[in-house]
Amino acid sequence: MRPLTMRRVGWVCALLTAILFAVSVMALKLGAVPISVSDLVVSLARVAIGRSAQLPSDYRLIVFDLRLPRILAGALVGAALSVAGAGYQALLRNPLADPYVLGVSSGSALGAILALQLLPQVVLATPIGAFIGAILTITAVYYLGRREGQLDSTTLLLAGIITASFLSAIIMFLMTTLASRDLRGMAFWLMGDLSTPLAPSLRWFFVVALVVGIGAIYTTSADLNLLVTGEREAMHLGVDVTRVKLVVYVAASGLTALAVSASGAIGYVGLLVPHVMRLLFGSDYRLLIPASALAGAIGVVLADTLARTVVAPTELPVGAMTAIAGAPLFIFLLRRSMR
Amino acid sequence: MSASGTSTMQGQDTRGRADDTARLAVEQASYAYSPTRRQIPTFTLTATSFQARQRELVAILGPNASGKSTLLQMIAGSLAPLSGRVLLDGIEIRSLDARTRAQRIAVVQQHAPLVFPARAGEFVLQGRHPYGRKLHLPNSEDVNLARNALAQVGAEHLADRRMDQLSGGEKQRIILARALAQQPLLLLLDEPTLHLDIGAQVELLERLRRLAEENRYTVIVVTHELALAAEFADQVVLLHQGKCLRVGTPAAVYQRDLLEQVFEAPLEVEAGPAGRPRVSLRSRPAGSIGLESGERTRGRST
């Protein structure tokens, strides 16, 4: 018997943090203007000691104003979506649950668009609208996915996919008819894109909200291990099922809303990342949550770097890259679960 | 099962356990299921009462849809009785919070396949959940208790195997081990013999008897296996269509007319060794065909 220890959680997190660092350096280096690692180290060191004025201005623009914020946004979005996916998978006892597949990302995008249209002056309109959209969508999909009072995994997925397609159609309709200057393009909301950076004034809000969201889900991770075996079993083992469900639904929807506000509806991250982490490190949520957060950050930064460089100087939306990797996995898992 | 294992399982228990007072008291407990609040109930379990002491094995017996599982869920505290009450050591079970309840009552029910496969050892460690702190990372005491629990069900060698690779009988033992790791006062089992072959059924019931004795559990088993209940139970609660018909020792409850009416089958009931009744199927034309489980248990008891 090899029970999970804090030491093992620490080692896995340290390893993934090192990989995230390496991937971020690579992402800073690669692009239409290549930058050597030594130049990067020198410029980062100068910024660290407060001598950023000595940097050439084009360097500062490319590294600190363009690439670094984009990497941070990618890491934030990846972490948020992966943890949200892992949370939904436990609550719905469905390995295929993911904010995008369940339609929560589309609901969130619609909420954000409506909030931007109706309350353009409000500072946090986008994330708040996205959050309300996410909560309403997951509630609707949860009730549509029930059959005879029980959650049915196939009905749930169908309900999610149909809801996503319905909400996407409404988004397309709004984007075509509203044509407002403040709204980003249709590709952003439907496919996900990291080319427009986060507003600097909102960066701290996003980071704090991400930590709170992931932290809230992490405090329930031991309960989630039992909840995946069934609500009644979890209750018999002392889990306060109602409280845990509420915390995780709200936190996972909040994380999805954060990700969608920052980058639109990037798909399959919440499916792909927790699944790979389970294969590598097992299904214990006390390890799975931090591992998924870090690996999600790695995954999206990597996917975005590919999206920027594969057909450079043209850019692909990052959601296209994650869908190319994620959709075949979805089909594979679906076929396996039907066997 | 080693003697040291027993002492560890019970060593730190300071909760009162007197042999002769009732540990579990079901007092006029009833329940009704309705599709919605305003509709007429589709199933009712009428007021049921019985008591169980420690070291006692009680069988809740009846055919399908007789209300057995409903009664068990009320004892487990997951259903609130419509009237009456269920007490554990004098405290109403529904008044305990989920965590305290899980420290005192362990439930073994039909296990759905795991969504994400876990190893048997990790699964047994889940039984320590009601005792853990926030993240519930197991300490060495938890690991020892889980190992003891595995030893008590003879499954130490399965600890590193994956749950989805175990046979029905092996899985049942692991689920039982998880319940033992909870160190409960009350062990509840819902149709534990359902998917087991006859050898494994007898082995499980013998193990439950032994556990009740050694760990001083009160064991409540829901079953429709007449022969097994006759052989192993101290007390039988006979249910039929939501009514509690009889409570007593197997010898008192097993009367041919009553059982034939409840189970809708021609049955033969004879007095067996040690005052336990023997049940067999009375074939209609001539001769007698023994109930499969009845034959086996009789073989063992003589």
The pLDDT tens digits for B45-77 are 999 999 999 999 999 999 988 999 999 999 999
Nearest CA in chain B to A93: B115
Question: For chain A, first and last CA: distance in Å?
Answer: 30
**b vs e for A156-179, b when ≥16 Cβ sit within 10 Å of the residue's Cβ?**
bbebbeebbeebbeebeebbeeee
Whether A286 and B137 lie within 8 Å, measured CB to CB? yes
Question: For chain B, first and last CA: distance in Å?
Answer: 24
CB interface of B with A, residues 164-183, below 8 Å: 182
Whether B102 and A238 lie within 8 Å, measured CB to CB? yes
Q: Which residues contact A199 (CB under 8 A, 6 or more apart)?
A: none
Residue B299 has pLDDT above 80, yes or no: no
Q: Is the dihedral of CA B124, B126, B128, B132 positive or negative?
A: positive
- Residue B106 inside a domain? The answer is yes
Considering chain A, what percentage of its residues have pLDDT values greater than 70?
Answer: 97
Coarse DSSP helix, strand, coil percentages of chain A, rounded to the nearest 5 percent: 75, 0, 25
Q: Which chain B positions have a beta carbon within 8 Å of A216's beta carbon?
A: none
What is the set of domains in chain A, with CATH numbers?
A: 75-189+202-338 (1.10.3470.10)
Of A237, A282, A283, the CB nearest to B102: A237
- Residue B68 inside a domain? The answer is yes
Tell me which residue range forms the domain holding B231: 3-43+53-301
pLDDT tens sequence across B203-248: 889 999 999 999 899 999 999 889 899 999 999 999 999 999 999 9
- Count the domains in chain B: 1
CB contact at 8 A, B245 and B45: no
Distance from CA of B18 to the nearest CA of A (A): 25
What's the pLDDT score for residue B130? Answer: 93
Q: Which chain A positions have a beta carbon within 8 Å of B160's beta carbon?
A: 1-2
- Bond preceding residue A99 cis, omega within 30 of 0: no
Number of DSSP helices (H) and strands (E) in chain B, helices first: 11, 13
| DSSP tag of A38 | H
Confidence check on the interface: ipTM exceeds 0.85, yes or no? no
Token pair listed for B131 = 């005792």
- Residue B270 inside a domain? The answer is yes
**For A236, how many CA atoms within 13 A lie in the half-sphere containing its CB?**
29
pLDDT band at B20 (very low <50, low <70, confident <90, very high): low
Number of DSSP helices (H) and strands (E) in chain A, helices first: 15, 2
pLDDT band at B285 (very low <50, low <70, confident <90, very high): low
CA angle A103, A104, A105 (to 5 degrees): 90
- Rounded Cα distance between A138 and A163, Å, is 10
Task: Please state, rounded to an integer, the average pLDDT across all residues of chain B.
Answer: 84
Bridge-partner residues for B33, per DSSP?
B43
Q: Which chain A positions have a beta carbon within 8 Å of B126's beta carbon?
A: 225-226, 229, 237
CB atoms within 10 A of CB B248: 13
What's the pLDDT score for residue B114? Answer: 77
Q: B113: domain CATH number?
A: 3.40.50.300
Average pLDDT over residues B3-30: 60
pLDDT band at B42 (very low <50, low <70, confident <90, very high): confident
Whether A222 and B117 lie within 8 Å, measured CB to CB? no
pLDDT band at B7 (very low <50, low <70, confident <90, very high): very low
Q: At which residue do the structure tokens 């007490």 appear? A: B87
| 3-state SS, one letter per residue, for B172-207 | HHHHHHHHHHCCCCEEEEECCCCCCCHHHHHHHHHH
- Residue B48 inside a domain? The answer is no
Of B107, B134, B146, the CB nearest to A236: B107
What's the pLDDT score for residue A218? Answer: 96
Distance from CA of A335 to the nearest CA of B (A): 14
Least confident of B247-261, B264-278, B280-294: B280-294
**For B286, how many CA atoms within 13 A lie in the half-sphere containing its CB?**
0
What's the pLDDT score for residue B282? Answer: 82
Whether A236 and B129 lie within 8 Å, measured CB to CB? no
| DSSP tag of B94 | G
**Three-state DSSP state, A264:** coil
CA–CA distances in Å: residue A271 to residues A89, A96, A164, A253 = 9, 6, 16, 15
What's the pLDDT score for residue B249? Answer: 93
Q: In this structure, which long-range contacts are made by residues A320-323, counting pairs with CB atoms below 8 Å and at least 24 apart in sequence?
A: A320/A191, A322/A192, A322/A266, A322/A267, A322/A268, A322/A269, A322/A272, A323/A191, A323/A267, A323/A268
Q: Give pTM, 2 decimals.
A: 0.86
- Residue B206 inside a domain? The answer is yes
CB atoms within 10 A of CB B233: 26
pLDDT tens sequence across A249-300: 999 999 999 999 999 899 999 999 999 999 899 889 999 999 999 999 999 9
What's the pLDDT score for residue B38? Answer: 74
What's the pLDDT score for residue A190? Answer: 83
What's the pLDDT score for residue A12? Answer: 97
| DSSP tag of A93 | T
Distance from CA of A151 to the nearest CA of B (A): 14
- Residue B230 inside a domain? The answer is yes
The pLDDT profile of chain A, 339 residues, written as one tens digit per residue, is 788 888 999 999 999 999 999 999 999 888 777 788 787 787 777 877 877 777 777 777 787 788 888 999 999 999 999 999 999 999 998 888 999 999 999 999 999 999 988 888 888 888 999 999 999 999 999 999 888 777 888 899 999 999 999 999 999 888 888 766 556 677 778 888 888 878 888 889 999 999 999 999 999 999 999 999 888 899 999 999 999 999 999 999 999 999 999 998 999 999 999 999 998 998 899 999 999 999 999 999 999 999 988 887 788 888 889 999 888 888 888 887 766
CA–CA distances in Å: residue A15 to residues A291, B57, B153 = 10, 52, 39
**b vs e for B10-49, b when ≥16 Cβ sit within 10 Å of the residue's Cβ?**
eeeeeeebeeeebbbbbbebbbeeeeeeeeeeeebbbbbe
